[in-house]
């Protein structure tokens, strides 16, 4: 069995906490961040037939932020 070798090299970009919101949104739509990014790039460069990817419900993002805030609060408490 050959190792999993990606067809394209990884690219690096700097993104703040929105990255975690993006992950929650992608998971809510049963996809991955990379797939959404590829769709956005295809749309942006006007690839024939490319469409904007669907967006998650805003409540998905708000819930992800709430959960992260609660986790940060738990970790900040003494004895955690």
Q: What is the mean pLDDT of the chain?
A: 93
The string of pLDDT tens digits covering residues 43-72 is 999 999 999 999 999 999 999 999 999 999
Q: Higher pLDDT residue, 62 or 1? A: 62
Query: Considering only 9-13, 29-33, 36-40, 49-53, which range has the smallest mean pLDDT?
Result: 9-13
pTM reported for the whole predicted model: 0.80
Q: How far is CA 64 from the centre of its chain?
A: 12
CB 31 within 8 A of CB 59: no
């Amino acid at each position: 069995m050959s190792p999993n070798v990606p067809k394209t090299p990884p690219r690096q970009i700097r993104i703040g906490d929105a990255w975690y919101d993006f992950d929650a949104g992608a998971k809510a739509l049963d996809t991955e961040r990379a797939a959404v990014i590829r769709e956005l790039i295809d749309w942006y460069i006007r690839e024939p037939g490319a469409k904007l990817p669907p967006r998650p419900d805003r409540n998905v993002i708000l819930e992800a932020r709430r959960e992260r805030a609660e986790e940060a609060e738990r970790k900040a408490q003494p004895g955690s």
